[in-house]
């Protein structure tokens, strides 16, 4: 274990969230750091986001992979049902983001950005005005700053609008970039966007699916993208799985794209083109970046 990972693990396990026992902690692993929470083994996977026109990677979204000791997989949604108290949600959310941040930093190159999901209940249970403070310290132990991090928030799951607006403003004041995730699903609305002023909006994959089947939806989607861009946000089309989906994303003027059509999630940050999804257009990776892949 190197000095940086040791310092991070000691700080996290003894300070950040104060876990009650050894089954809730950050762990050193051959491929970076991993997590342990109530019988679950937690690992980081990453999927690139690419510029729509050049297909050059511009960022990586961290994705949680959880397994029981017997090897059975558990979805992120199921994992976050385990905490029974607000403090547990805050701890698990922070554990996952810290794990992702360290594993990202171990492979990242200058200019790489990290997208991290923030659980809605975490936002609601952190003390007012302190959002991002503890995590900024943890990022420092990983060698990162808030300016390298995009926090993804699923605003449609949060009912307390005033608290949400306050949390977003606090994060942005600390230097984090804010992305609204899955816009267009459930109860997403423009009224909230005007109040939140996010830097990035990720469109729910259902909008691309509808546009691929419904000509009327395909005519409306460019207008939606234009409105979001007029509000000052960059637009990401996620869930791109086919050539048709890709063409739609290009046609509607999305700034970035993400999906299995370009690259599958993996523990390696800069995956070589031959490990991408079959028949996908190659993302732009340098030869040097391919050598920085951490083993799965």
Report the C-alpha gap between 213 and 33 in whole angstroms: 43
- Element (H or E) spanning 288, and its range? helix 287-290
Give the three-class secondary structure for 80.
coil
Report the C-alpha gap between 230 and 265 in whole angstroms: 31
Instruction: Find where tokens 């909006």 sit.
Output: 201
- What's the pLDDT score for residue 269? 87
Give the three-class secondary structure for 8.
helix
CATH, domain range 44-64+77-290: 3.20.20.450
Instruction: Please give the chain's pLDDT, 296 residues, in tens.
Output: 567 777 787 778 776 555 445 678 888 877 789 999 999 999 999 999 999 999 999 999 999 999 999 999 999 999 999 998 888 888 999 999 999 999 999 999 888 999 999 988 888 888 888 898 889 999 998 999 999 999 999 887 788 888 899 999 999 999 999 999 999 876 667 888 888 999 999 999 999 999 999 999 999 999 999 999 999 999 999 999 999 999 999 999 999 999 999 999 999 886 555 455 666 787 775 544 444 444 33
Compute the CA torsion angle 117, 91, 177, 255 (nearest 10 deg).
Answer: -10
Closest listed residue to residue 164, CA positions, set 187, 136, 138: 187
What pTM value is reported for the model?
Answer: 0.89
**What are the phi and psi torsion angles at 67 (to 5°)?**
-135, 145
Give the three-class secondary structure for 245.
helix
- What's the pLDDT score for residue 227? 94
Report the C-alpha gap between 285 and 290 in whole angstroms: 7
> Where are the domains positioned within the chain?
44-64+77-290
Q: Is 205 in contact with 238 (CB distance < 8 Å)?
A: yes
The pair of three-digit structure tokens given for residue 248, joined into one six-digit string = 């739609």
Q: Is 259 in contact with 239 (CB distance < 8 Å)?
A: yes
Q: How far is C-alpha 6 from the geometric centre of its chain's CA atoms?
A: 25
- What's the pLDDT score for residue 31? 72
- Element (H or E) spanning 208, and its range? helix 205-213
């Amino acid at each position: 274990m190197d000095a940086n990972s040791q310092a991070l693990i000691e700080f996290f396990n003894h300070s950040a969230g104060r876990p009650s026992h050894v089954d809730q902690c950050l762990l050193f692993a051959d491929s970076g750091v991993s997590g342990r929470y109530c019988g679950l083994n937690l690992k980081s996977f990453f999927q690139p986001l690419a510029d729509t026109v050049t297909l050059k990677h511009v960022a990586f979204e961290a994705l949680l992979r959880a397994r029981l000791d017997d090897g059975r997989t558990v979805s992120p949604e199921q994992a976050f049902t385990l905490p029974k108290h607000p403090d547990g949600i805050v701890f698990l959310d922070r554990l996952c983001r810290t794990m992702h941040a360290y594993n990202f930093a171990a492979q990242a190159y200058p200019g790489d950005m990290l997208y991290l999901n923030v659980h809605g209940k975490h936002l609601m249970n952190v003390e007012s005005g302190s959002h991002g403070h503890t995590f900024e310290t943890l990022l420092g132990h990983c060698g990162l700053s808030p300016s390298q991090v995009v926090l993804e928030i699923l605003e449609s799951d949060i009912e307390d609008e005033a608290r949400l607006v306050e949390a977003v403003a606090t994060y942005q004041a600390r230097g984090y970039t804010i992305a609204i995730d899955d816009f267009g699903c459930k109860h997403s609305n423009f009224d909230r966007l005007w109040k939140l002023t996010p830097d990035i909006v990720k469109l729910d994959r259902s909008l691309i699916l509808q546009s691929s089947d419904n000509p009327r939806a395909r005519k409306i989607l460019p207008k939606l993208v234009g409105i979001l861009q007029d509000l000052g946000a960059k637009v990401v089309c996620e869930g791109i799985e086919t050539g048709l989906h890709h063409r739609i994303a290009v046609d509607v003027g999305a700034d970035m794209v993400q999906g299995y059509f370009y690259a599958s999630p993996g523990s390696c940050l800069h995956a070589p083109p031959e490990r991408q999804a079959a028949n996908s257009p190659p993302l732009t990776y340098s030869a040097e970046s391919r050598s920085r892949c951490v083993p799965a």
